[in-house]
Structures are given as C-alpha cells and as structure tokens.
Amino acid sequence: MHTTVGIIGGGPAGLLLARLLHRSGIDCVVLEGRDRTYVERRQRAGILEQSTVDALRAAGAGARLDREGLAHDGIELRFDRRSCRVDFPSLTGGRRVWVYAQTEVVKDLIALQLKDGPPLLFGAEALAVEDAGTGRPAVRYRHRGREQTLTCDYAVGCDGFHGVARAAVPAGVRRAYERTYPYSWLGVLADVAPSCDELIYAHSPRGFALHSMRSPAVSRLYLQVPNGTDPADWPDERIWDELDARFAVDGDWTLGRGPITAKAVLPMRSHVLEPMRYGRVFLAGDAAHIVPPAGAKGLNLAAADVIVLARALARLRTSGDAGPLDAYSDTCLRRVWRAEHFSYFMTTTLHTAPGQSPFDTRLQLAQLERIASSRHAAAELAENYTGPPLG
C-alpha cells in the first residue's frame, strides 16, 4: 500500500492531521496500534487553547465541542489561604480556553474519519520506520496477524514517546533534553458537580492541588504525591480530606464531595527531542516533546505541530513551495521551548519539593503575590496559558 502521508498513531494529533490533510486534498493513511475502544477511553488532557479549537472547527470537528465544551475566561490561584483570579480576555485581547476532554476530541475525530476520511486502521501495530533518509520512507506494521508495509512520500510519527517513529532519527543526529520532577500527580474523576466555575491551582504547604472538571456533572481533581505512590494507598475519604486542606481559603467556599470513579498516578517530566524531522520523517506531539501537566500544554502543542505540518504540506501541494516544510522543526521548536518554560514555571512555582526550605517557599509566595498584584505579571501568565496565536 502506498500513500502520500503515512501517519503513525491514531490519537488526537494523528487524527487531526488526517482531517486537515483530507480537507486539503492530500491522501493519507492512519495506523493505530490499539483498538477503537481503548483509544476512545484513553484519559489525557482536557484544556484546549483557542488555536486548537479553531483547528478542530476547521477540520469539521467542532460541532459537539461548541455544544458541550465549557469556555473558560480565567483561572483561580490559591495560596496563603487567599485567592486571585487571572482574567484571560482582559489580559490577552480576548483569548480564552475550553474544557473538553481528549476522549471527546478523539471520539469526534474518529467518527469523522470513519464516515468520510482516508483509511484509519485500528490494531495496526507499527514495527519500524525504514528508509527515513530516502525519498520514500516505509512503515512496517502488523495488522490482523500479518506483517505489511506502507510506503509513503512522508511519514509522520504521532505515536508518543514509546513509539517507533523516534528511532527513525539516527542517534548521531538527535539531541534529547530532559528534566524529571521529584513528585507526581494523583488524578481522580468524581461524579460530583464542580465546586468552581473555573480551574483552581492551589499552592499549599501540604503540596499542590488542582480542581478541574470534565462536564457540569463530573469533576477532575489532582493532588501532588510522592513518586512511586500507589493509588490504593489513597482511599476516597483521605483524598477528599486532603483536597479540602489544600484548597482552604479564608471565606465560606466548600468543596463538594461525591463518588470517585477513577484514580491514577501521573509521573511528571519534561522532554524535548531535536530535530523534529529527519529526511521525510516528521515527529509530532509526545513523539517529540513532553511537558508536565501544570501548564495544560500537552495536547495543544501536539495540535500546533500538526497544524504547522498540514499547512506546510498544503503549501507544497498548491504552489510547490517547500520552504515551510523545510522549516517545520525550527518553527515547532520555538513554540515547544516556550511551552516547556511556562510548564516548568507553573510546576516549580506551585509544587512543594521534598525537603523544600522555607526560603524557597517564600520565593514561591512572592512570585504568586506578584501575579496577584501586577497586571504585567498576570498578563504574562495569561498569554502563556491561552497560547500564542498560530498566525
């Protein structure tokens, strides 16, 4: 089988790229190693930047998002038993974010792809990307018990950190940058209406906490925990008590409680692989970069990558101009490193490191106080959180 663009990975990045290419008249094939049920239930991010929402609408996948997504005009910071709201539209010229779970984004894109899009093969396990430095890369994959080969003019790895596409960039060419953090997140889903209208990011001597939501009836909450934590060590009552303590402010705010339906521990790290292109093989999303979740950048960076790539391929097809395609890695990496820095800032400002000194805690509080009292500091946070326009 041959196609113009072979896409490895049927997560949000690969599926969005396929839709954008399809609407530009560029044929492609998507290979996804897991089955449809697994892909649609894979819990990940839930915050969408304006540019991501615009791209989903342009791909024809915005109808349910517009009906069910929750538009947010700010976030609340809590520290030292007080709160501060950061208003996005007034600080960014009107930008905002949306709460719409990755599971729902994926469901929407899969439904469109199977209805009228190019081939999407579930259970197609990519084994290797070969001939990456030549004019026609090939993706070896196993589907329905048979090993097959997909040749393509361009191959795109949207298959995550542990996927095969990364290996197509030779060891002597690639450069990897990484930071690990000495804490994780315990994330829970609860069948209870959110106790807030917007996300709450809480700094506490007991550790970080985040209050988010998946819908008007489902809350998504996170607690900073030590690396290696077993979710079984956190019964429901202990989780709610700890959330109560970390969100505490002077006033009458109350945290609603309800049945917890899911628990998982998320390790935290930053990782960037350069370059994001080798020959005719391109990397996008987690295959090229990982950010800690405090900045809400993971899904949005992946979307930005494939938007840039889809535009570059469309430009090549319509005008023969290969300039944007040749600049893909540099273009994406500028945004990636900006997001890495912002995610690092949010993580280190809001979390309490093991053995953290009182001096470091006071530095964190001084930074949070500056955001609360300075429009310039608040605007910088808002501009980074809502994401720069893609142009």
Give the catalytic positions in this structure. Answer: 72, 201, 293, 297, 385
Omega of the bond leading into 275 within 30 degrees of 0 (cis): yes
Please name which of 43, 48, 59 lies closest in space to residue 100, comparing C-alpha atoms. Answer: 48
- Whether residue 253 contacts residue 85, with contact meaning beta carbons closer than 8 Å, is answered with no
Point out which residues pair with 270 in neighbouring strands.
Answer: 179
- Whether residue 293 contacts residue 185, with contact meaning beta carbons closer than 8 Å, is answered with yes
How distant, in Å, are the alpha carbons of 285, 304, 371, 388 from that of 271? 11, 17, 27, 21
Dist CA 383 CA 367 (whole Å): 17
Report the interhelical angle of 50-58 vs 12-23 (nearest 10°).
50
Buried b (16+ CB within 10 A) or exposed e, 100-131: bbbbbbbbbbbebbeeebbbbbbbbbbeebbb
CB-based contacts of 172, cutoff 8 Å, min separation 6: none
Dist CA 372 CA 74 (whole Å): 13
- Whether residue 239 contacts residue 245, with contact meaning beta carbons closer than 8 Å, is answered with no
